[in-house]
Amino acid sequence: MSTLEQLIAHSKTNEEIARKLFTIETEILSCQSSQELLKKLLDLIKESFQLTDIYLLLADPTPISYLLTSKTQSKWHQQNTKRISATKLQNFHPNNLPYLTNDTYLVNGIVPQHLQKNAGSIALVPVTLEGQFFGSLLFTDQNPNRFTTDLGTFHLEQLAVKISLCLSNVLIREQLEYMAHYDRLTGIANRRLMEKTIEEELIRQRRYQVPFSVLFIDCNKFKMINDTYGHDCGDKVLSYVATQLQELIRENDKCFRYAGDEFVVVLASQTYQEAKQASQRLCEFFIKNPMPYQNSHLEITISCGVAASDGLLTMDQLLKKADEHLYLHKKVTSRSY
Ligand SMILES: Nc1nc2c(ncn2[C@@H]2O[C@H](COP(=O)(O)OP(=O)(O)OP(=O)(O)O)[C@@H](O)[C@H]2O)c(=O)[nH]1
């Protein structure tokens, strides 16, 4: 092939790659959530560039910590992503450039074994979020000659920039939404999301006559815990209570931090009697399970008020009723703690 023919062939290849990159960018721009974006991105790249496998290695700690909480780890995340120490991963990108190799043993411990088995060569493409390292996209090919240093990294760098921009957009939007609806200290949903949830339950109840109930929960003598052990310990108690409540309720029930040491649980499809049983179960749990604290255990008890929605009460009336029952329960329980 003459030099001119080589140049023309090279330019055609570049044009083809640029077109594929443009299609990928256009497709992912419309994604509304980070999960949708990542899923679409991985599928599109794998298909367009006919890769053997594609995977996302997430830097740990990540610049966006909520991404790594168990609640946000979907089945898709479990199958397609892996957390790797940020420092370890960044060693492959000294100048923030893609890393290419067909000595696949060099990535032992980084690339999941099931992918490494079929990989003749691999590329790691660094992705950043607002200039902070977020992780690496991992491409593998059976062909040992595909991802070698001869390939050059220009197109991969371009891809990385585009992905970083699209991902930043969607993650910032998601993070704002998260901050508006979740409590920073305990990680559980806040009062705003509670109001939205109760309004939805009320609509569902009025339309389909499905019952639902709410529990108003308050930690007993919480001020004393703060005063005796300090505010940090108080914070730990709130996180402990929030985590346990979330674990103890059913999958379609929801737990919210209402304010200070108060929590609300919305029990979907549950009548007053069922909610009453749930309330007893929660109170007993805390009696039997003091919080591990500084090589010892700290006793924590809660009081709980129950109210079932009849479809006629407004949200405020329903919460007021649960709060009144909480007050009565607290009066009874305060004799024993
Ligand atoms: N550590 C910590 N304390 C908080 C937080 N929010 C509110 N508080 C404190 O929670 C305490 C709540 O006090 P009270 O409502 O009197 O509750 P209590 O001491 O449990 O009283 P009873 O409910 O009657 O048993 C107040 O002292 C607040 O300062 C928080 O985020 N962290």
pLDDT tens digits, one per residue of 118-175: 899 999 999 988 888 989 999 999 999 999 887 778 888 888 888 888 888 888 888 8
Top mutation candidate among 219, 223, 326 for ligand 1, by most atoms within 8 Å of CB = 223
Residue 222's pLDDT band, with cuts at 50, 70 and 90, is very high
Same domain, 83 and 159: yes
Q: What is the pLDDT of residue 7?
A: 72
Minimal CA–CA distance to 233: which of 293, 180, 302?
293
Least confident of 46-55, 208-217, 254-263, 320-329: 46-55
Residue 265's pLDDT band, with cuts at 50, 70 and 90, is very high
305 part of a folded domain: yes
State the virtual CA torsion across 247, 253, 258, 261 in degrees, nearest 10: -30
Q: What is the pLDDT of residue 67?
A: 58
pLDDT tens digits, one per residue of 1-25: 667 777 777 677 778 878 888 888 8
Q: What range defines the domain where residue 44 resides?
A: 3-181
Q: Rounded to whole angstroms, how far apart are CA atoms 67 and 59?
A: 11
Q: Using the CB atoms, write b or e for 181-209: b if 16+ within 10 Å.
A: ebbeebbbbbeebbeebbeebbeebeeee
Top mutation candidate among 186, 222, 283, 303 for ligand 1, by most atoms within 8 Å of CB = 222
54 part of a folded domain: yes
Same domain, 170 and 86: yes
Nearest atom (ligand 1) to Cα of 225: 19
Looking at residues 226-248, what average pLDDT do you find? 96
Q: What is the pLDDT of residue 287?
A: 95
Q: Pocket around ligand 1: residues whose beta carbon is below 6 Å from it?
A: 185, 218-224, 226, 231, 234-235, 238, 260-261
pLDDT above 80 for 273: yes
Domain boundary among 181, 213, 230: 181
Q: What is the pLDDT of residue 68?
A: 54
Classify 70 as helix, strand or coil: helix
Among 57-71, 147-161, 201-215, the range of highest mean pLDDT: 201-215
pLDDT tens digits, one per residue of 230-239: 999 999 999 9
Q: What is the pLDDT of residue 335?
A: 64
Domain boundary among 155, 181, 207: 181
Work out how many domains the chain is built from and give that number: 2
- For 143-247, strand residue ranges (E) read 212-219
Same domain, 21 and 105: yes
Rounded to the nearest angstrom, the distance between the alpha carbon of 222 and the centre of ligand 1 is 5
Rounded to the nearest angstrom, the distance between the alpha carbon of 214 and the centre of ligand 1 is 21
Which residue is associated with the tokens 């009081």?
303
Q: What global pTM score does this model have?
A: 0.70
Same domain, 319 and 209: yes
Domain boundary among 154, 181, 208: 181
pLDDT above 60 for 70: no
- Give residue 266's identity as a one-letter amino acid code: V
pLDDT tens digits, one per residue of 35-46: 888 899 899 999
Same domain, 158 and 250: no
What is the residue-averaged pLDDT of the chain?
89
